Chains A and B, each alone.
Chain A
């Protein structure tokens, strides 16, 4: 699971009001090199919750992202490279996503998060 996916997920448990961002419990992180694509990053930047990405990347052991970001920074190659790495090269291979409100864990196995709920959670 790339951090891009993490940035799009919220806790879906019934009654939870503040389900974003999910906390990350790390068992195994892998890095996969991906071709750098500036247009993709520009497309995604306005759709990303920056603070959640910064926190998630720190949990995964990557501390290079600046605390705050704005679109003018997309002109910096250095910024783009870091954004690229955090967003799509860091994968949570094994671990869990944890609902910030209830502590319910959503497992991530073989890089795929499982958001299926039990009947009493829907």
Chain B
């Protein structure tokens, strides 16, 4: 049977590019767990921001299988070496993605606005001093500034702009990033969310959040439809209750 994820031995590497790690595997496992939905979703544009080695976008292309040949894949990274490595990784798996070296989606925001059906992001999320963020080379792979939120908080509005009406965003976060607050913030913009995977490693507790536009929410002016339950720092979000915006 054909592999449904990228194979590590075919993933290229470079001393200044982030190798697939626990967070990359968690994101790919979350996508695999959601594969049936992804196939039904029939995305026509899939995008990765911060593609690193290319392990995630190659896996996404492979798990979509035949479906992926109708789909446009595009990936960005701020690190030029990463984009080059992603190209090799994609080629080694017989896949193709358009690649751009850029900050998040700068230069693509105008034309891709409202067109992206699936966006996957494993951002730099480690809490660090602010000055470490956006340095060139490998440090930009993890340095996330205060609470690890610096880059995430820049990505969220861009995702909101690029996602299509049916668009889905899969985002890797750490407990320290306050994922519940991210969901809440996006809920105010009309997004529903769900933790699709939670995994604790020796060093960190990862949450993969899936966010999508909740069209019902947008229809009802000023009223958000949502319900949050918090337990042990872990969130389960179900969207049933009805809260007035002012209450949030």
Contact = CB atoms under 8 A, between A and B. Distances in A.
B102 A10 contact: no
B211 interface: no
B101 A115 contact: yes
A8 B74 CA distance: 10
Given A37-B69, A40-B69, A19 B110 contact: yes
Contact of A112 (B45, B74, B101): B101
Interface residues of B toward A: which range? 20 to 34
A20 interface: yes
B93 to A, nearest CB: 15
B110 A10 contact: yes
B111 A116 contact: no
Contacts of B78: 116
Contact of A117 (B84, B99, B100, B106): B106
Residue from A10, A19, A106 with most neighbouring chain B CB atoms (10 Å): A10
Contacts of B45: 47
Interface string B72-98: 101000101001100100000000101
A103 to B, nearest CB: 16
A113 B101 contact: yes
Interface string A93-116: 000000000000010001111111
Contact of B112 (A8, A12, A111, A113): A8
Interface string A68-101: 0000000000000000000000000000000000
A116 B72 contact: no
Nearest to A2: B98
A1 B96 CA distance: 11
Nearest to A4: B98
A12 B107 contact: yes
Nearest to A88: B96
A44 interface: yes
A43 B87 contact: no
A5 B98 contact: yes
A43 B117 CA distance: 12
Nearest to A21: B111
A19 B108 CA distance: 11
Contacts of A4: 72, 98
Given A10-B108, A47-B45, A112-B84, 11 more contacts: A9-B111, A34-B96, A40-B70, A40-B71, A110-B84, A111-B87, A112-B80, A113-B101, A114-B102, A115-B100, A117-B106
Pairs of residues from A and B, 5 with the lowest C-beta to C-beta distance, nearest first: A115-B107, A115-B102, A12-B107, A5-B98, A43-B44
Interface of B: 44-45, 69-72, 74, 78, 80, 83-84, 87, 96, 98-103, 106-112, 115
Interface of A: 1-2, 4-5, 7-12, 19-20, 34-35, 37, 39-40, 43-44, 47, 49, 106, 110-117
